[in-house]
Structure formats: structure tokens, C-alpha cells
Amino acid sequence: MGNRPAELQELLESVAKQHGPAIEVAVVGNGSPLPPLSGDLRTAELTENLGIPGGRNVGVELFGPGGRDVDVVLFLDDDGMLPSADTGELVRAAFEADPELGIISFRIADPVTGGTQRRHVPRLRASDPLRNSRVTTFLGGACAVRTRVIQEVGALPAEFFYAHEETDLAWRALDAGWQIEYRSDLVLHHPTTSPARHAVYHRMVARNRVWLARRNLPWALVPVYLGVWFVVTILRRPSRPALRAWLGGFAEGWTTACGPRRPMRWRTVWRLTRLGRPPII
């Protein structure tokens, strides 16, 4: 977004310090000009903000269609930093050891406290952020994605703009037979924040939740999944303005185009259930 040049430079320096072969870097100015940057970088300056998934898709394309020039793409938020110099080598080793591994979700830790927010552990049983596990989604700003996954199942859903785009890609990847893993030893330092700091948070979370279900779930599960989330949202007792925005987004999700519908197979529903997150929660 162009408003964190110091943090961006710190991130780029942490990537440059990684052990092993040099990591190629792409930086996308998402509706903002890029600050002066040093090094051999691939860059794009977009005239408008395409949103999180749209901007990341542009970054992938800087490595050829579907990222075909590279085997793996790391998505790293511009206010993050890799504290360890062996992260790149660990990522390479993980993908080489498991040909079915499609996506790795890193652990996000506050640089001051070392703590990991519960929402940053992509599973229901999130009390122990140091436990590695197979998961059903991933953290979009701290992850590694095999480019064959993108080439096979498609890119992040740009129309989502913000919220749930990772789960949309994750469900498509799982339906195609890929594995997703949460690795606590792969760390991105990132300051503790609240997602509700974004003005569009409540509306887009609700709209995209409906889109996610309409695009990916068998029709029999769509009302169950969305009904559960409707009840959960009410029980969380959001403020009146937040609830109004959420209800508006929920209605928008039903009345606007959500992109192509590719419902997952029932065996994928069972697979998600065995992984601890049936697609009704």
C-alpha cells in the first residue's frame, strides 16, 4: 500500500539473508507507487488497489503465467519480517520431502512478545500455536504455495478483495488432492493487530463467507454452513454498527455474482472433517 517503506525494506533484507540459493523477489505496489528499492527485484505498480488477492495474483504473474518460472511462491506481508535465516531452506526441504504438499502456513509471532494470536493458527484447536499439523486453510500473508497448485486449481479469487480468499484457494487445493500444513518453526514476525481495524472488515467478512459457500460447497451444506456462522456472529454480540455492516454484507453475498461455482466432492467434505474442520464450521 506504500505506507510502510521502512518495514518493507526490513522484510526485503530478511529475505536477502536467507541461506541457500537466492530467493527471487517480486514487489507489487497495489494502487500505490513503490518507494526506492535496492536489489534485483521484479516490480509492478498498479494504478488501482486490486485488493489482497488481486495484488498477490499480480505478484505471481511476475514469475510467468501461473508462476511457472519458479517452483514455490512465498506470500509475505510488507510489515512482516523473517527472523530466521534458514526459513527458505526449511521450505525447500518440506516441499522436496512431500510431493503432495501444496501449501505451508507459517506461524505469525509478535516481534516483541513472541506471542501468536489464536486467529493466526489455522485450525479449530488453536490453543497450542507450537504444534505442527495438517490444516484446511492457511495464512495468506505468511505462507508458501507450490506454483503447481495455482496452475492446477487457479489463482486466489480476486473478486473477494479482502477476507476468506485463502480458504477459497485451500478448499480447491484440497479437493484436487493437495495437502496443507501449518509449521510453527517457520516464523514471520508481525505486530499484533486486530482485523477489525479495516473499515470494510465486517461487510466483506460476511459477503465473502457467503461467496465462499456458494462457490465451493455442495448445495446441501450451503445453508448449514452459513446458518452456523449466522448464529456464531449473533452470539459474539457485535456492536450495532458492526452487526448492521455484517448483515448488509451477508445480503450482498446472496445478491451479487460470486464467480465460478466448482463444488467440492463429498470425499473432500469427509477429508475436511477428518482434518478436524468439517465445512459447516
**Looking at residue 79, what DSSP letter applies?**
T
The answer to whether 190 and 79 have CB atoms below 8 angstroms apart is: yes
201 plus 189 within the same structural domain: no
Report the half-sphere exposure of 81 (CA within 13 A, side-chain side): 18
222 plus 167 within the same structural domain: no
Residue 160 maps to which CATH number? 3.90.550.10
Concatenating the DSSP letter of every residue in 222-260 gives HHHHHHHHHHHHHHT---HHHHHHHHHHHHHHHHS----
DSSP β-ladder status, 101-109 and 142-146: antiparallel
146 plus 261 within the same structural domain: no
User: Where among 193, 214, 241 does a domain terminate?
Assistant: 193
CA angle in degrees (0–180, nearest 5) for 234-235-238:
60
The answer to whether 266 and 218 have CB atoms below 8 angstroms apart is: yes
167 plus 133 within the same structural domain: yes
Question: What is the Cα–Cα distance from 170 to 178, expressed in whole angstroms?
Answer: 9
The distance of Cα 38 from the centroid of its chain, to the nearest Å, equals: 27
pLDDT of res. 131: 97
pLDDT of res. 199: 60
Q: What are the two backbone dihedrals, phi and then psi, of residue 186, each rounded to the nearest 5 degrees?
A: -100, 105
DSSP lists the bridge partners of residue 72 as 146
pLDDT of res. 281: 87
Question: What is the Cα–Cα distance from 183 to 119, expressed in whole angstroms?
Answer: 15
216 plus 156 within the same structural domain: no
pLDDT of res. 263: 98
| Cell matching residue 187 | 516464523
Q: Locate the DSSP E strands across 112-246.
A: 133-134, 142-146, 179-189
57 plus 130 within the same structural domain: yes
Report the length, in residues, of the chain.
281
117 plus 236 within the same structural domain: no
In a domain, 279, yes or no: no
Tell me how many domains the chain contains.
Answer: 2
16 plus 122 within the same structural domain: yes
pLDDT of res. 215: 98
Query: Of 234, 213, 235, nearest to 280 (Cα)?
Result: 213
Its domain, for residue 59, covers 5-193
Helix, coil or strand: residue 187: strand
123 plus 236 within the same structural domain: no
55 plus 79 within the same structural domain: yes
| Cell matching residue 44 | 509492478
Neighbours of 66 (CB within 10 A): 18
User: Where among 193, 226, 254 does a domain terminate?
Assistant: 193
Classify residue 243 as exposed, middle or buried by CB count within 10 Å of its CB (0-12, 13-18, 19+): middle
pLDDT in tens, the chain (281 residues): 788 999 999 999 999 999 999 999 999 999 999 999 988 899 999 999 999 999 999 999 999 999 999 999 999 999 999 999 999 999 999 999 999 999 999 999 999 999 999 999 999 999 999 999 999 999 999 999 999 999 999 999 999 999 999 999 999 999 999 999 999 999 999 998 776 555 689 999 999 999 999 999 999 999 999 999 999 999 999 999 999 999 999 999 999 999 999 999 999 999 999 999 999 98
